[in-house]
Amino acid sequence: TMDAGGGLRTPIVAVLGHVDHGKTSLLDKVRGSAVTSGEAGAITQHIGATAVPLETISDIAGRLVDPDDFDLPGLLFIDTPGHHSFSTLRSRGGALADIAVLVVDVNDGFQPQTLEAIDILKRTQTPFIVAANKIDTTPGWNPNPDTPVQQTLAEQSDRAEQRLNESLYEIIGELSDNGFSADMYWRVQNFRGNIGVVPVSAETGEGVPDLLAVLMGLSQRYMKEDMSIDTAGAGAGTVLEVKEERGFGTTLDVVLYDGSIRTDDTIVVGGKNDPIVTDVRALLQPRPLEEIRTEKRFEKVDEVTAAAGVKIAAPDLDEALAGAPVRVVRDRPEEEVVEEVRQELADISVDTAENGVVVKADTLGSLEAIANALEEAEIPIVRAEVGDVAPRDVAVASTAEEVTEEVILAFNVDVLPDARQEAGDRNIRLFEDDVIYQLIDEYEEFVDEIER
What phi and psi, each to the nearest 5 degrees, are found at residue 133?
-95, 165
Cβ proximity to ligand GTP: between 201 and 305 the closer is 201
Q: What is the DSSP letter of 359?
A: E
Q: Is 195 annotated as a binding residue?
A: no
Which residue number places its CB atom closest to Mg ion?
24
CB of 442 to Mg ion, least distance (A): 25
388 contacts 359 by C-beta, under 8 angstroms: no
Q: Is 136 annotated as a binding residue?
A: yes
For ligand GTP, how many residues bind (rule: CB under 6 A)? 17
For residue 447, the tally of other CB atoms under 10 A from its CB is 17
Q: Any bridge partners for residue 90, and if so which?
A: 95
Q: What is the DSSP letter of 350?
A: P
Alpha carbons 198 and 201: distance in angstroms, whole number: 10
Cβ proximity to ligand GTP: between 134 and 311 the closer is 134
Q: Is the dihedral of CA 329, 332, 338, 340 positive or negative?
A: negative
Alpha carbons 279 and 448: distance in angstroms, whole number: 52
Q: Which stretch binds ligand GTP (CB under 6 A): 14-22, 163-171, 344-352, 402-410?
A: 14-22
The only residue of 133, 147, 231, 260 in contact with ligand GTP, by rule CB under 6 A: 133
What phi and psi, each to the nearest 5 degrees, are found at residue 237?
-155, -175
Q: Which stretch binds ligand GTP (CB under 6 A): 51-59, 198-206, 254-262, 304-312?
A: 198-206
Binding mask 3-42 toward Mg ion (x if CB under 5 A, else -) reads --------------------xx------------------
254 contacts 326 by C-beta, under 8 angstroms: yes
315 contacts 278 by C-beta, under 8 angstroms: yes
Alpha carbons 320 and 250: distance in angstroms, whole number: 9
**136: contact with ligand GTP by CB under 6 A:** yes
Which residue number places its CB atom closest to ligand GTP?
82
CB of 24 to ligand GTP, least distance (A): 3
Alpha carbons 12 and 9: distance in angstroms, whole number: 9
Q: What is the DSSP letter of 11?
A: P
The only residue of 13, 14, 23, 322 in contact with ligand GTP, by rule CB under 6 A: 23
66 contacts 2 by C-beta, under 8 angstroms: no
For residue 151, the tally of other CB atoms under 10 A from its CB is 13
Q: Which stretch binds ligand GTP (CB under 6 A): 15-23, 330-338, 382-390, 431-439?
A: 15-23
CB of 170 to Mg ion, least distance (A): 23
CB of 274 to ligand GTP, least distance (A): 35
The only residue of 5, 82, 112, 233 in contact with ligand GTP, by rule CB under 6 A: 82
**Chain CA centroid to CA 451, Å:** 38
CB of 20 to ligand GTP, least distance (A): 4
Cβ proximity to ligand GTP: between 255 and 341 the closer is 255
The only residue of 6, 41, 81, 424 in contact with ligand GTP, by rule CB under 6 A: 81
Q: What is the DSSP letter of 98?
A: S
Cβ proximity to Mg ion: between 80 and 305 the closer is 80
Q: Any bridge partners for residue 244, and if so which?
A: 250
CB of 131 to ligand GTP, least distance (A): 9
Alpha carbons 267 and 328: distance in angstroms, whole number: 4
Q: Is 17 annotated as a binding residue?
A: yes
Cβ proximity to ligand GTP: between 136 and 368 the closer is 136
Chain residues that interact with Mg ion, rule: CB under 5 A: 23-24
Chain residues that interact with ligand GTP, rule: CB under 6 A: 17, 19-25, 81-82, 133-134, 136-137, 201-203
Binding-site residue set for GTP: 17-24, 79-83, 133-136
